[in-house]
Amino acid sequence: MKKTVLLLLGLLVGSFATIAAEHRIPTRNEVGRDAMPAEIAPIEAPFYMPQLQKPHFPDYTVRIKPPTSRKMATQRIQEAIDKTSERGGGKVVMAAGVWYSGRITLKSNVELHTEEGCVVRFSGEIEDYLPAVFTTNEGVEVTSLGACIYAHHAENIALTGKGVFIGPTSGSIKERQVKFAVEEIDIHTPVEERIYDGRDGGQVFLPTFFGPIECRNVYLEGVRFERGFFWNIAPVYCEDMIIRGVHVSSVGIPRGDGVDITCCKNVLIEYSTMDCGDDNFAMKGGRNEYGYERNRASENIVMRHCLTLGGHGGITIGSETAGWIRNLYTHDCVFDGTQIGIRFKTRRPRSGGGENLYYERIRMRTTKEAICWDMLGNPAWTGELAARLPERKWTTLTPAFRGISIRDIIVEDCREFIKMTAIPESPVRFLSIENATVGSTQSEADAKDPRRQTLMQLHDVDGMTLRNLTVTAPKQRIAILDGRNLLFEGVTLAPESTPAVEIKGEKSTHIRFAACEKGLEQYNR
């Protein structure tokens, strides 16, 4: 046993060192908030992407100090922002100290800057976020509490500095909020009539932490968010946005996503660190038929030099996909201890999907799958539509994933390399995974559970290439269900054993193993 473990470690170390040297895959100390340089490097992408720049503000600064008591400072902060915007713009500086606040609204041409030592504690009471404002909840437009730091139809805005923003631990907002109530919204009523402001005992939707809506030229740098109500950095319908050097800590917060980009265009995310209670970075495109009718995509997004620690997914597409997520380039990132590294989520009624998605030079150490597609979901939320069969007729609400490139990756550890659960009437199409070195360990529980003894599960895929792949794992089962037009080229599995390739489904055809070891060619069909 000891000899086998040493052999596995030797193979892993040698493979990791080779691919890291050839493709310069970063290590943990080279990414994230602590590694952020002073300047923004030119943006490179496999699609057209504008060279986003830091916004410029008028040479005017007002510095405000926190109260000497626990008195709410919302009004004083807001007055400073409003007056600065009215005079043409500038910088509002929040001095070091402890602040207590309700909703803060950013205005055009204003940078809200927090000094080191500035701590802002947000209220958990409904009245501190009234009047209700135009906002969204999981892709559906409503009139509710908005965000702790909110903006609407603003241009040239920024939140910067080394301040720490902390969410509440109690209050009437959480007491009144109903989980997943978004499913109950009547989307056929005008948005101004979809009012959820908590009055007369009514419900509310949890505010996001930083939530600009329909804004342009948005800049976020350096700050830290802790214990938010819900999603943390959640821009919606925004254009030309930079997020850099931020840190989100929301472990233990249900639906505590780090960064959720919803229907935004031209976005750069870099040198940020996430340790979240749900997905760390998520790209979203609106929900179900409502999002389909709105037809607003998240597109032209570059994410680079970021670090994720806990959380459900390192970089996630979905699960709200109605307006499409397209032209995403994620590169030079480290996902260290995250449940899933690269994640794709949607459901049969979610519509849209993702296309032109590129992932390069990524290092992962995951507790579950390295790469995962979940397109069917849970019967608790989608009922019988979560069942793979019978195959349904394709409709405008059938989502799709296509045109995906993943290359130059190191998976230091995972429970399963690929887990793909797609939809029979909408298989994953045109996928390539190249130049990957993968290590997978097997726990005692995995060894006893046959459901956890699969290296790759490929259910419903049409057009996939796996090239130059080296996997060191005790489990080497490859399960293919209705997979067609698949090419495995240069696939090496270690240690020495014969992999089990299981091919099922009437649609499984044109499956080829080329230049592979251990007799994999016997499974060609």
Rounded Cα gap, residues 105 and 84, in angstroms = 13
pTM over 0.85: yes
Give the pLDDT confidence score for residue 254 in this predicted structure: 86
Amino acid at 175: E
Q: Tell me the CATH number for domain 31-386+393-414.
A: 2.160.20.10
Domain coordinates in residue numbering, the chain? 31-386+393-414
Contact 496, 472 (CB under 8 A): no
Contact 109, 154 (CB under 8 A): no
Give the pLDDT confidence score for residue 2 in this predicted structure: 43
Rounded Cα gap, residues 178 and 255, in angstroms = 13
Give the pLDDT confidence score for residue 454 in this predicted structure: 82
Contact 147, 234 (CB under 8 A): yes
- State the DSSP H helix or E strand holding residue 3, giving kind and residue range, or none if neither: helix 2-23
Give the pLDDT confidence score for residue 514 in this predicted structure: 93
Beta bridge pairs of residue 470: 437, 492
Give the pLDDT confidence score for residue 520 in this predicted structure: 83
Along the chain (525 residues), what's the average pLDDT of each consecutive run of 10 residues? 44 51 84 97 97 96 94 97 98 98 98 98 96 93 96 98 94 79 80 90 92 98 96 98 98 93 98 97 94 94 97 97 98 97 96 98 97 94 92 95 98 95 98 95 67 85 97 88 97 77 95 86 88
Give the pLDDT confidence score for residue 199 in this predicted structure: 87
Give the pLDDT confidence score for residue 186 in this predicted structure: 83
- 500 φ, ψ to 5°? -100, 115
Rounded Cα gap, residues 322 and 318, in angstroms = 9
Give the pLDDT confidence score for residue 94 in this predicted structure: 98
Give the pLDDT confidence score for residue 11 in this predicted structure: 46
Token pair of 268, please?
A: 């750069």
Token pair of 388, please?
A: 């793979």
**Whats the size of the chain, residue-wise?**
525
What letter would DSSP give residue 516? -
